[in-house]
Chains A and B, each alone.
Chain A
């Protein structure tokens, strides 16, 4: 699984960073960044889904 963050859609709600700090970071402006090039270790897939399902701007997509 791979995380893709659409930086144009991201408005800095920081929900992904709060739910899955192992997978996301945020910059000084609150814009989300997928860590590790977006690669999701198998044991964190559930957390990645949770982060995507809680983005108010639908800025996070998950690719298989």
Chain B
């Protein structure tokens, strides 16, 4: 893996969220920007990149579909080819008015009542992963909360929903890593390592066309817009979205929540002693450790509060930073496990609210509940390795089990 860029030396003028230091030190970096008087970073990397860190500016861009397009939502060294308003992965890469048409196709299968039916299956999966950790000796055994637990939960659920073999989970993680983490490699290299993903999706579409079944892939192949079936590119793009967005986002949220509990014994004890506090804790995990930063492209040259944005510049939407902005939240940098007022934007703000938010919440809630039920006392023990790029969460999370239920 060869990044086109070197180490960041100045976060304000040479910003790069793919520098591993960024996600490791994210909370400090955001706080520095939010108190600096100029909450916007810029970089010539990626052929032009802006990153605002205040809630006010993130909010403004999220709602402004006139100056910013969703055609590209993952910053990388290239630019998307599929044009607006559809973009390469509808509806996340789509703009109004097409966006709403593509989105409405996918909202019903992810509505709260449909998703609630998955709870027993998610709980079963979590317990299977906990059982697989083998014999545990309290005070000695170290389990990896990311590798042995968090990373396997969402991938198994979304694979089943799409009708893909859950046995391919390692392959899906490779795809996701390629799309979301290898963003700073030359465009030719990216095109080459993205090819197997396109091939895989095409093969799945062919297989589902030949053997229709009760899953989201068959649903997308059958559904119509204005009397017409979706194009294969649309179907492949939507599947790509569900696969990529449904895996390491929630994996990251579960991992960050376990990291928090493994470094804050009082919060862990509260959650074990008062399981009903989970209703608020869930939202506070999402606020304080929101995993997802989105992106937009600038449509035409635009003076944004004095920032001379050029057409086709990338703009990051760091919702996780907005969630910790003291101008918007009381005691923004504190984790308050039963925070009563919590209008966080972990799932985005505006028309692109995360389609899978009900599923993500269910997986995060059940994963944390089952982990603390099995291990009511544990602590982070060793080096946590954080992801790189727009999705922030632990990729290695050594936890020492102190007590087994």
Interface residue ranges, A against B (CB under 8 Å): 11-15, 17-19, 26-30, 50, 53-58
Query: Is B283's beta carbon under 8 Å from chain A?
Result: yes
Q: Which among B341, B343, B347, B350 has the greatest number of chain A C-beta atoms within 10 A? A: B343
Q: Which of B107, B279, B342, B351 meets A28, CB within 8 Å?
A: B107
Known contacts A19-B279, A54-B343; is-contact A30 B107 (Cβ 8 Å): yes
Interface residue ranges, B against A (CB under 8 Å): 104, 107-108, 110-113, 279, 283, 340-345, 347, 349-351, 353, 357-358, 361
> Can you show 16 pairs from A to B with CB atoms below 8 A apart?
A11-B351, A15-B283, A18-B112, A18-B279, A26-B113, A29-B104, A30-B107, A30-B110, A50-B340, A53-B340, A54-B283, A54-B341, A54-B342, A54-B343, A56-B345, A56-B349
Is the Cβ of B349 less than 8 Å from the Cβ of A14? no
Is the Cβ of B112 less than 8 Å from the Cβ of A30? yes
Please give the distance in Å from B275's CB to the nearest CB on chain A: 16
Please give the distance in Å from A27's CB to the nearest CB on chain B: 8
Q: Which among A13, A19, A57 has the greatest number of chain B C-beta atoms within 10 A? A: A13
Residue of A nearest to B100 (CB): A29
Is the Cβ of A57 less than 8 Å from the Cβ of B349? yes
Chain B positions within 8 Å of A15 at CB level = 283
Known contacts A12-B353, A13-B357; is-contact A28 B111 (Cβ 8 Å): yes
Residue of A nearest to B345 (CB): A56
Known contacts A11-B353, A12-B107, A28-B108; is-contact A58 B343 (Cβ 8 Å): yes
Chain B positions within 8 Å of A29 at CB level = 104, 107-108, 111
Please give the distance in Å from A28's CB to the nearest CB on chain B: 4
Is the Cβ of A56 less than 8 Å from the Cβ of B343? yes
Is the Cβ of A56 less than 8 Å from the Cβ of B108? no
Residue of B nearest to A19 (CB): B279
